[in-house]
Structure 1
């Protein structure tokens, strides 16, 4: 019988092959009609010939086609009887075996690691850590493992299961689950506050009752958190990608906001006007790989609530030229200006890989919006429209795969 302090055992993996996240998302991004493939997979399920990997592919296709509920239902059925899947590898004899530890959540809830290792000599196995199933014993053999589940509430049980075994993991384990939990919106500001040259507004969870009282002027902003003042940023707790996000200027606007959103818990923070001198807002995404920052993208728009899609970068040659300069000069410009703040942020977060959405405030300090381990870092943009992006993305991917190889080598020598 294995002692609880002994390393977990390893065995040859029994995996199911799948098309995978990267290939299917590439096709959807390029405008390929996924419905014929969906129909073929549905037919295979109906006649009982579908494999587990095909079921998981069908789940993703349903989500890519906009039917999240059906996709998650299919995923739950598949994961009830099979949890380990292999993604395509560029070579027949991989140089490295990576085990990604995922949670049973929608397609945006785990690190999209397939993009980061695409075209490499890495074999990727993804193990879904499912409620009431947990981790297999023994584990599938691998050279290095990385936790790809997010800090979302839906991932908490999976993270706890991995964390309970982390001290006995037989191979290097990256992005440890206890550190991922620090990325939650209402924890990150406490972790990062006090870093010189860095601003991060306090984000706190407020109940509907609190915000109702605030809208009726029965309490004041500072009663929720000391630094809070109008205008405030409000979003329902648990939402992502800007869903329900709003800037509320006063109590009257808060009344209207609450009337339009029925949730019971919200994240609130003070609004920071980070517009540049020309009146435009500039928002940056960085990838932190092994403690080093890399430029992922720069979005420029005349609105504060930017993400890359609503900045319409593809339609502005001037914006793209600025993004190209941002990437080209990153190490001697933006990255150099904020080097100390980013180094300390990386040290405190303690993850081997994560992304940062940020800007510069009017004092020239690094303004942090969010840190995440599941943001999409990809190479899907058209090289005709964005010729500068593919070399930059390849630089990030090379750094990521080198990090995996370095840890795997260190683990084999220990």
Structure 2
């Protein structure tokens, strides 16, 4: 039964379905475990009509991990049509805290991977999927604190709107409020952070295919799309992620060649910032902002500007890993201290309890922000033999996240049920 907007929200005993969950299955895939036998086992149970809802959701994730995103999403939507609440048990025999995560029906990268952040804790996680046409239940499951894990993507808009309509009546503290998640949109974040001293964020501008085509033929100038736009520029299809379709366009001819390879009608463009270091290498950082405080997640070093951790090949360079280790070790009194005021103001303006920032330092030593989101994976899956400095850092982030949840739960302990 869908919740009426004006009615108070009540809590009741949870009718949840247990599942293996995102963290365990993703870890197995990361470590090279063959998931085909488990997939086939779950398919057999579904064919026999004996599968439980949690097993159906696990099958959806396994299917996506095996590379069939479309089929995985179809399975997920079918499961969520009749069951929306799932439990990932805590590592402790008796949970010390109950967290309710509010998720959307989207691919495995579209919700905050909160299970990684809670690994090894005494926190029990309930995930409630807010499904279009179903919305939120009249009675919520018992919990101590809730957090919105749906992203700012187009596919999550209806879920965020549904949560937003009842957020004022929430019976427990509600973190990462849905109206603030929208601040992370690529074409909104630069406006939100404009004018922050010591922070550089290029304007991300929507451009149609027709506009870019006109620009490639010299019929319009860069300034006709946006005042600050110029060559070289960065382009990507609107709605794309993980570097799909990302390109540096140096001139009009490069735009023409780029459009010839792509079918999309809408793009994001931004001025290119050359953030190369004096040694000719690029350094890109991922930070976790937890309860207003920055934490180092990783540092990627490569000889290319379009860098992310995987294409930096950090595992193959002892020298790069040594620099990343120093970055993590000295983070609080080095990087975080240099950019402390910019990070503080960014956190204040974004207004989220937890989010991720991908950034660098420009050639004026300002904090160069590429993007911020609430769904980037922060994990502890890397080999401790290759990255011995990472597990302590990840545990520090996880502890801060759990402490944030506990602090808010304690502050809301007297809320009405």
Q: Name the TM-score, length of structure 1 as normaliser.
A: 0.99
Residue 40 of structure 2 aligns with which residue? 39
Residue 112 of structure 1 aligns with which residue? 113
RMSD value, Cα? 1.0
Residue pair 2:5, 2:166 contacting (<8 A) in 1 also? no
Residue 333 of structure 2 aligns with which residue? 332
**Shift in Å, 1:11:** 0.7
How far, CA to CA, are the matches of 1:293 and 1:16 in structure 2? 35
Residue pair 2:148, 2:177 contacting (<8 A) in 1 also? yes
Deviations 1:190-229 (A, max 9, x none): 0001000000000011111111111111111111110000
Residue 246 of structure 2 aligns with which residue? 245
Residue 74 of structure 1 aligns with which residue? 75
**Shift in Å, 1:92:** 2.3
Residue pair 2:13, 2:141 contacting (<8 A) in 1 also? yes
How far, CA to CA, are the matches of 2:195 and 2:354 in structure 1? 22
Q: How does 1:139-178 map to 2 (within 5 A)?
A: 139-178=140-179
Deviations 1:219-269 (A, max 9, x none): 111111100000110000111000000000011010010010110100000
- Unpaired segments of 5 or more residues in structure 2? none
Q: How does 1:47-66 map to 2 (within 5 A)?
A: 47-66=48-67
How far, CA to CA, are the matches of 1:190 and 1:39 in structure 2? 49
Residue 266 of structure 1 aligns with which residue? 267
**Shift in Å, 1:140:** 1.1
Residue pair 2:117, 2:398 contacting (<8 A) in 1 also? yes
Pair 1:385 & 2:386 matched: yes
How far, CA to CA, are the matches of 2:392 and 2:172 in structure 1? 32
Residue 376 of structure 1 aligns with which residue? 377
Q: Alpha carbons of 1:4 and 1:276: their partners in 2 closer, same or farther (altered >3 Å)?
A: closer
How far, CA to CA, are the matches of 2:92 and 2:54 in structure 1? 20
How far, CA to CA, are the matches of 2:413 and 2:89 in structure 1? 25
Residue pair 2:5, 2:165 contacting (<8 A) in 1 also? no
3-state SS, counterpart of residue 136 of structure 1: coil
How far, CA to CA, are the matches of 2:77 and 2:113 in structure 1? 19
Residue 29 of structure 1 aligns with which residue? 30
Q: How does 1:206-225 map to 2 (within 5 A)?
A: 206-225=207-226
3-state SS, counterpart of residue 67 of structure 2: coil
Deviations 1:307-328 (A, max 9, x none): 0000000000000000000000
Residue 99 of structure 1 aligns with which residue? 100
How far, CA to CA, are the matches of 2:217 and 2:12 in structure 1? 62
How far, CA to CA, are the matches of 2:264 and 2:4 in structure 1? 46
Deviations 1:298-348 (A, max 9, x none): 000000000000000000000000000000000010000000000000000
How far, CA to CA, are the matches of 2:129 and 2:294 in structure 1? 29
Pair 1:302 & 2:303 matched: yes
- Aligned residues between the structures: 413
How far, CA to CA, are the matches of 2:205 and 2:148 in structure 1? 26
- Unpaired segments of 5 or more residues in structure 1? none
Residue pair 2:6, 2:166 contacting (<8 A) in 1 also? no
Pair 1:234 & 2:235 matched: yes
**Shift in Å, 1:158:** 0.1
